[in-house]
Copies of this chain bind each other. A is one copy, B any other.
Amino acid sequence: MEDRKKRTEIASMGEFGLIKHLTENLPDPNESTLKGVGDDAAILNYNNGKRVLVTTDLLMEGVHFNLAYCPLKHLGYKSAVVNFSDIYAMNGTPKQITVSLAFSKKFAVEDIDELYAGIRIACEQYGVDIIGGDTSSSLTGLAISITCIGEADPDKVVCRNTAGSTDLICVTGDLGAAYMGLLFLERENKVFMQTGLRPDSDDADFAAKSYIIQRQLKPEARKDIIEALARINVVPTSMMDISDGLSSELLHICKQSNVGCRIYEDRLPIDYQTAVMAEEVNMNVSTVALHGGEDYELLFTVPLEMNDVFQNLKGIKVIGHTTKPELGCCLIGRDGLEHNIVAQGWNAFPEKEESNDNDEAEDDSELKS
């Protein structure tokens, strides 16, 4: 991505050399990590009265990320954090990850270093150990597969299917910013592709979009919220993280818990930069907040009695309540009218793909650009 002096071919280092290079000097591990990298399998000890949580994500270049505007270090950070987010969404704490990477010849050791540096920073930030993985070549592009293992108290694990029918619905932070950041980066990249003029990331437009760019490129998992809930001794009745968009996740909770819901348009938490960008691209900002993915905020429900507490918690917004299932899932608009909620978030298998098996032009250009 950056201009580089040095390019070390991965073949010159070999698989074992590369693994050693990437995983040396890892910080002291968690108590539950007995043995990490270096054997057929890692050895963990979870005889600690906790539940073990396991989640996994596979990110493919050109589908989940575009290296034309996503720096490898940020990508590494994000790849790890999105997995941590899934563990927090169970009211747990992430403890270990395995990192599998496959990369084509366009990547040098220095590129993989950048990517791995991002993963390591995320792990240090969140107190997670890298305990193993796999590295190999790929014919085209980069694939990143991370599995995260975490723990939670048996009586505090929170699932999606346990919301009550008179609960408050809460979301953390604000919504839609990551999606607006994506649209901004794609717009700038398109200008660059057409004009050859590299956008100046120091200019005023980038500064005015810094929050939404950061939300797209370097999201955080809501460790702070999970810790805050623990401090006030609240276990949500249901919870998940918002990766595919609020509407999609809300419908998951409602369907799996067999409840309906009412959420209020005027209560959707939206950042100023999100609103500005939505206007620039001529989108309704509520639509952006409802359907934009990758915010990695938490969506959860708590009993109605906690209304007073949750109306005043920093970083948490009550956006509505659950109902009996027969009332369906609706958004109450600013006009007071009810609109059925329909999932329109991230689609892993779009009908019309941007690229196909025969069209590899994009793949090769990214590191050269």
B90 x A39 contact (CB < 8 A): yes
B44 x A100 contact (CB < 8 A): no
Closest residue of chain B to A53 (Cβ to Cβ) is: B41
Interface-located stretch among A73-81, A276-284, A302-310, A346-354: A346-354
The answer to whether residues A47 and B46 also contact, given A102-B63, A137-B348 and a CB cut-off of 8 A, is: yes
When distances are taken between beta carbons in the complex, the residues of chain B under 8 Å from A328 are: none
**Main SS of chain A's interface residues?**
mixed
Binding site for B on A (CB under 8 A): 10-11, 13-15, 18, 34-35, 38-58, 60-64, 86-87, 89-90, 92, 96, 98, 100-102, 104-106, 131-141, 143, 145, 147-150, 152, 154, 157, 159-161, 240-241, 256, 347-351, 353, 355-358, 360, 362-364
A92 x B41 contact (CB < 8 A): yes
When distances are taken between beta carbons in the complex, the residues of chain B under 8 Å from A256 are: 38
**Distance to closest chain B CB from A115 (angstroms):** 14
Q: Beyond A58-B136, A63-B137: 18 further Cβ-contacts under 8 Å?
A: A10-B349, A40-B89, A40-B240, A41-B92, A41-B148, A45-B52, A47-B50, A56-B134, A58-B143, A60-B138, A63-B139, A102-B143, A104-B357, A105-B356, A135-B348, A140-B140, A140-B357, A357-B360
Q: Which of B48, B58, B349 contacts A100 (CB 8 A)?
A: B58
A54 x B11 contact (CB < 8 A): no
The answer to whether residues A40 and B241 also contact, given A60-B136, A98-B54, A136-B64 and a CB cut-off of 8 A, is: yes
A89 x B137 contact (CB < 8 A): no
**Distance to closest chain B CB from A255 (angstroms):** 10
> Given the complex of chains A and B, what is the CA–CA distance between A112 and B360 in angstroms?
23
The answer to whether residues A134 and B353 also contact, given A34-B51, A40-B86, A86-B41 and a CB cut-off of 8 A, is: no
Q: Which of B38, B90, B138 contacts A63 (CB 8 A)?
A: B138
In the complex, 16 of the A-B residue pairs with CB atoms within 8 angstroms, ordered by the A residue number, are A15-B349, A40-B90, A41-B54, A41-B55, A42-B54, A42-B55, A43-B152, A47-B47, A47-B49, A56-B132, A58-B145, A64-B136, A105-B353, A137-B350, A139-B360, A143-B145
When distances are taken between beta carbons in the complex, the residues of chain B under 8 Å from A143 are: 58, 60, 102, 138, 143, 145
When distances are taken between beta carbons in the complex, the residues of chain B under 8 Å from A152 are: 43
When distances are taken between beta carbons in the complex, the residues of chain B under 8 Å from A159 are: 35, 39, 43
> Given the complex of chains A and B, what is the CA–CA distance between A197 and B355 in angstroms?
32
